[in-house]
Amino acid sequence: MKTIGSLCTGYGGLDLAVEQRTGARTVWVSDVDKHANTILEQRFPHADNLGDLKSVDWASVPRVDILTAGYPCQPFSHAGNRKGTDDPRHIFPYIAEGIRVLRPRLLVLENVRGHLSRGFGDVLGALADLGYDARWGVVRASDAGAPHRRERVFIAAADTSDLGHQWRRSTWDWWYGPEDGGLSAAHAGGERHGGGEDGGAVGLMDAADAGGAPQRERAWEVAGDRGAEAASYADGKGLEGHGELHAAPGEVEASAHYRVAWGDYLAAIERWSRVVGRPAPEPTEPGRNGAPRLSPRFVEWMMGLPEGWVTDTGIPHNAQLKALGNGVVPQQAALALSLLGL
């Protein structure tokens, strides 16, 4: 079985998607946040935790086939100070050192869309210097059917050091075999999909953005010549057969379960309910003083996670919201990897 090593793991949303798309198994993770580590201990109990990647002795780390990293977005986010590579939280050089030593066959990286204008060239240049050829794209959570934008850039990079001029076909054929045709030439090199501003926060979209025909048209636009696959994800059809991460898109008559008056958001809520296979929880819950506060279970549902993935781990309310806000929508990542040829 192919193996995955995960850096800046968070709650493991990117790794869920990579496991789903490749059939590989996550064998080690890395995070410094104590609450994230509580989640990882429960959700990836078989995986060792490397801890702070700044102090890892890479020579002692088991080699893996795939390395994933959702490295900190604060240096690149429109919501931050936008210092890019000058931000002390820019830790990609430490990741690059791990790549240099471990030489995984494939890299899967994720960050905010703002990364494209701050530090992206440095990352691509570092990968090229290490002998990796990268392709990338911007995919919105809404392209996978979610009721929020959350634009993210995804990078897939293949090790070309031992393949010479035949690297491209040989590298991508490694995943599916020559009989499946590998990755088509139409998907070679970097591609940029989507547009708009960086959507770091989880905010609802109205029906015109996240439901009905406009969403399908945008899915086709984002996917280019793989538009049918993107549209099927937005409809929930592209998620079958992947275990607990995605319930089969059965008849979830969401509106019958809701006490919330969703108004213009109802179509978006019902659409995502069909994708994840369960209706939306109440968006708020009583706080300590009885006043309503944002419910982590609702945010967990918005992020496309299995029920209880974060909220049943025993970490505090605010820590749940922090973990969820920093995480990856697995369905979005899976769609991005599909569009990138995995």
Query: What confidence tier does 162 reach under pLDDT thresholds 50, 70, 90?
Result: low
Contacts of 237 (CB under 8 A, 6+ apart): 249
The predicted pLDDT at position 211 comes to: 38
Query: What confidence tier does 298 reach under pLDDT thresholds 50, 70, 90?
Result: very high
Helices 213-223 and 227-234, axial angle in degrees (round to 10): 140
Q: Per-residue pLDDT for 247 more than 50?
A: no
**Average pLDDT rounded to a whole number, residues 174-182:** 40
Query: What confidence tier does 248 reach under pLDDT thresholds 50, 70, 90?
Result: very low
Query: What confidence tier does 122 reach under pLDDT thresholds 50, 70, 90?
Result: confident
The predicted pLDDT at position 72 comes to: 75
* Burial per residue of 222-238, b for 16 or more beta-carbon CB atoms within 10 angstroms, e otherwise: bbeebbebbbbbbbbbb
The predicted pLDDT at position 196 comes to: 35
CATH 3.40.50.150 domain range(s) in the chain: 3-200
Q: Which of 18, 64, 69, 73 is catalytic?
A: 73
Comparing 236 with 242, which gets the higher pLDDT? Answer: 236
Comparing 91 with 242, which gets the higher pLDDT? Answer: 91
- CA–CA distance, 249 with 301 (Å, rounded to integer): 15
**Average pLDDT rounded to a whole number, residues 139-157:** 95
Query: What confidence tier does 136 reach under pLDDT thresholds 50, 70, 90?
Result: very high
Token pair belonging to 36: 């994230």
pLDDT in tens, 9-57: 999 999 999 999 999 999 999 999 999 999 999 999 999 999 999 999 9
Share of the chain above pLDDT 90, in %: 57
pLDDT in tens, 69-93: 998 745 544 444 444 445 555 688 8
Give the CA count within 13 Å in the CB-facing half-sphere of 45: 2
Q: Per-residue pLDDT for 256 more than 70?
A: no
Burial class (CB in 10 A: 0-12, 13-18, 19+), 167: middle
Token pair belonging to 35: 């609450």
Contact criterion met (CB below 8 Å) for 132 and 99: yes
Query: What confidence tier does 187 reach under pLDDT thresholds 50, 70, 90?
Result: very low
State the residue for tokens 């050829």: 133
Active site residue 73: yes
The predicted pLDDT at position 90 comes to: 66
The predicted pLDDT at position 195 comes to: 34
**Average pLDDT rounded to a whole number, residues 87-107:** 87
pLDDT in tens, 223-238: 334 444 544 555 544 4
The predicted pLDDT at position 342 comes to: 83
Q: Per-residue pLDDT for 176 more than 60?
A: no
CATH class of the structural domain 3-200: alpha beta
- CA–CA distance, 70 with 93 (Å, rounded to integer): 14
Helices 92-102 and 120-129, axial angle in degrees (round to 10): 20
The predicted pLDDT at position 117 comes to: 82
| Range of lowest pLDDT (147-151, 252-256, 278-282, 337-341) | 252-256
| Range of lowest pLDDT (136-150, 252-266, 278-292) | 252-266
Share of the chain above pLDDT 70, in %: 66
The predicted pLDDT at position 15 comes to: 98
